[in-house]
Structure 1
Amino acid sequence: MNHLPLIIKREYLTKVKNKSFIIMTFLSPIIFITLIAVVAYLSQLNNDKIRVISILDESGIVKNVFKNTDHTSYNILDNNMALEDAIALVQETEGYGLLHVKNIPQEKISSSNFTFYSEDSPSLTLMSDLESEIQSELTLQNRIKENIDEEKLKATRVSINIGQESFDGEKTSKVDSVVKLIFGCAAGYLLFMFIIIYGNMIMRSVIEEKTSRIIEVIISSVKPVQLMLGKIIGTSLAGITQLVIWIILGGVLMTITSIILGIDISEMQTPQQQIMEQAMENSEVNLQIQNAFTAFLNLPLFNLIIAFILFFISGYLLYSSLYAAIGAAVDNETDTQQFMLPIILPLILAVYIGIFTVIEDPHGTVSTVFSFIPLTSPVVMLMRIPFGVPIWQQVLSLLILVGSFMSTVWFASKIYRVGILMYGKKPSYKELMKWIKY
């Protein structure tokens, strides 16, 4: 394979010098960062706005419940004011809305006695906060009325968090499973996206060279298997180069944008973040965060990194060879649709099995079997490894995957050898099988 390095170099340089590749490499981070900056700026403007909510509590039950916050101010109206006058006052003062509580006894109060009036649909977060405050106050008043001691009631509550420990004495928790699932899903999804994006790039590259007839000159001095491997490796290196540039350029642009616009994205306060900050003040939530951090440290990080690199590369090469074979078999991208489904389905199946099966039973029959099937093992095995997979299973799965890649390259090169010289005809699966036999 003396020509392989030359083919890899040619393919890599052809890709990175392509105008569209260069433009999208530098334009994509700019567009992405611009969108983030616009959203951050608009969110900052929205957070600076104070919503004024008027309260017309005819019953006098909940008027003292609401406390002003950084973004919400409550205006308590005279409970003798008519509803029409209250609505008119809110509209004149351009208030955010009016909460009306009808004048009824506390024992007969229900949801129908509360109404929120506003010009537009109110925020879901705001409505949830109002409902929560009212519910807490009415519950407290009912308990006082029934002579129920609130402190004693809290003292009687029992919280159970069942400890988990393996037969070998290794302690785990529910948080461990969540952290492992997140890590596995991130690895599987990254591989899925990389295959889709750069597998298509390889396929289009083959189609372009085939239609331009350049391939006829190249194939006269290079074996089809060398040419296909060179395209796969060269395009993959170009893809890695693009990702590295995106990461570096994205970080630089993010810093520059923050300085110029004075936006600190890390300090953006969305309603969801405010809820999270309030939740973190709870000792139980803090304990869960500590458990999550401990669970991350307990992950077999060295094993995960090595396995991720090996399965990522092997899985990508396997699918890339299939994409190259499809590109050689057709004349344009429109004709690739009939061959794409058999490639995409195993990837989608692997993601669904990883999410819905591995989390429930990572060592079950379904998870184990699909972690050995080559078309699904790169995703499923990466999701299983955080839960503790024996090394022999990982090695066996990797050997099967590498062997499948070599076999796929051999079969794909057969299709490649015939397909790159075929023009003007849309092949069928039956014809592809004949090409493999040549």
Structure 2
Amino acid sequence: MNHLPLIIKREYLTKVRNKSFIIMTFLSPLIFVGIFALVAYLSSLNNDTVRKISVLDESGLFKDEFNSSPHLQYKLLGETTLQNAKEEAEKEEVYGLLYIPKIDRLEDLSKEITFYSEDSPSLSLMGDINDLLENKVNTLKLKEAGIDSETIKNLHINISANQETFKGKETSKLGSGLKLIFGGLAGYLLFMFIIIYGNMIMRSVIEEKTSRVIEVIISSVKPRLLLLGKIFGTTLAGITQFVVWVVLILVLMTVVTSIFGIDPASATPSQQVLDNSVNGGTQQILQDVMMEINNLPITNLIIMFILFFVGGYLLYASLYASVGAAVDSETDTQQFMMPILMPLILAVYVGFFTVIDNPHGTVSQVFSYIPFTSPVVMLMRIPFGVPLWQQIISVLILFASFIAMVWFAAKIYRVGILMYGKKPTYKEIFKWLKY
């Protein structure tokens, strides 16, 4: 076992001194922040756009309903024809023309109102206009029936039931969404880490195998130790790169937002939604968000994230290393990649489509114990409150599976790294396990 630290050190230094590794370590955060800055800048330009809409209201029912905002301005047209209104709208290059004809029955109004524009209008804009028209028409319809709409509004009471656990801890309707975001982010991060750095291990094994360096190394080191050294060394290199990415992205984001005055909030999809938001409602949402974040088991999440992150990656890394040992080139790995990726893809689908509906259901619990899916599914379940004993059992199964997988992978590894010029089949690989 005294060779293991040397192998880990060699693998780590080989990776971090590689030119492409160094370039991508520093270039990736620059690309990420550059894309963010570009999107924020383009969004700010889009939010500065003022949409002008002409309104031809022949019915005279909506003359006091259209209120302009900083990003949306309405212009009520006087006595004119629809054709003249269209020509004027095209000449002035307004965003659109809203035509409300004169009708005898309110029921017919919904079929006659038309919005003219050069291109298809945005869904949010048409939704706001339709809501405005619908509210006014419904008010007029109530008046026709002899019902005072204001009285109905005053009699209407909004119900928002309080949410609280049996132990007296307050929750809100945003809780499930936030828990899914936290769990989903953790699971997706692990998913991407496994794919990126698992492929790095596989390519490293293939390169050493094709260059015949492995024949020299294997003469003095047991295949199992060499396999573990590659896995641990590449894992440390990956963690180093990941930490550098996080630090650089935070620094660059701070610099970009301060120097160029880019507001991250400017990248929101619809500025008009913000213009129409109510301060009281926004404050209540922020309070609910902060309350739910405080209710999350942060310490439990961090500890289990580290354990499942490490265990899940080590488990899949051993599979990637065995695949690299079994083939001669990266193009030959395709037939073996699908069985490795399928459990990961299945875990993501189970997490998003089952955990969100019933995080403590049978399906969610079963996949929380299967080692190939538990790193993703269990991480998504923990924010919803999973008993500690279940988490511990899942972690133990995961690391026990890693030890067993290393034993199997080492058998493939010790035979495969010395095989050249032949594409192995699943049947042959199965025979290697018996040697």
Q: Normalization by structure 2: what TM-score?
A: 0.93
How many residue pairs get matched? 435
The aligned residue for residue 71 of structure 2 is 71
Partners of 1:212 and 1:135 in 2: how far apart?
73
C-alpha displacement of 1:171: 5.0
Q: Deviations over 1:225-269 (max 9, x none)?
A: 111111111111111121222222223332333344x33223416
Contact 1:125-1:271 within 8 A present in 2 as well: no
Q: Deviations over 1:152-192 (max 9, x none)?
A: 32343344444555555555454333322222211111111
1:386 aligns with 2:383: yes
Partners of 2:368 and 2:295 in 1: how far apart?
23
Q: Secondary structure at the match of 2:97?
A: strand
251-260 or 86-95: bigger deviation: 251-260
Partners of 1:229 and 1:270 in 2: how far apart?
46
Q: Could you say if the C-alpha distance between residues 112 and 178 of structure 1 is closer, same or farther in structure 2, counting changes exceeding 3 Å?
A: same
C-alpha displacement of 1:281: 2.9
Q: Could you say if the C-alpha distance between residues 120 and 169 of structure 1 is closer, same or farther in structure 2, counting changes exceeding 3 Å?
A: closer
Q: Secondary structure at the match of 2:74?
A: strand
Partners of 1:269 and 1:87 in 2: how far apart?
33
The aligned residue for residue 352 of structure 2 is 355
Map 1:36-435 to 2 at 5 A: 36-78=36-78, 80-166=79-165, 168=167, 170=169, 172-260=171-259, 262-268=260-266, 270=268, 272-276=270-274, 278-283=276-281, 286-435=283-432
Partners of 2:170 and 2:37 in 1: how far apart?
43
Q: Secondary structure at the match of 2:55?
A: strand
Partners of 1:239 and 1:133 in 2: how far apart?
54
Flag structure 1 segments of 5+ consecutive residues without an equivalent.
none
Partners of 1:235 and 1:265 in 2: how far apart?
38
Partners of 2:218 and 2:268 in 1: how far apart?
58
Contact 1:350-1:379 within 8 A present in 2 as well: yes
Counterpart amino acid of residue 430 in structure 2: M
C-alpha displacement of 1:270: 4.1
C-alpha displacement of 1:202: 0.9
The aligned residue for residue 24 of structure 1 is 24
59-68 or 401-410: bigger deviation: 59-68
C-alpha displacement of 1:41: 1.9
C-alpha displacement of 1:107: 2.3
Q: Secondary structure at the match of 1:68?
A: coil
Contact 1:59-1:105 within 8 A present in 2 as well: no
Partners of 1:405 and 1:307 in 2: how far apart?
17
Q: Could you say if the C-alpha distance between residues 166 and 81 of structure 1 is closer, same or farther in structure 2, counting changes exceeding 3 Å?
A: closer
Contact 1:41-1:263 within 8 A present in 2 as well: no
Q: Normalization by structure 1: what TM-score?
A: 0.93
Flag structure 2 segments of 5+ consecutive residues without an equivalent.
none
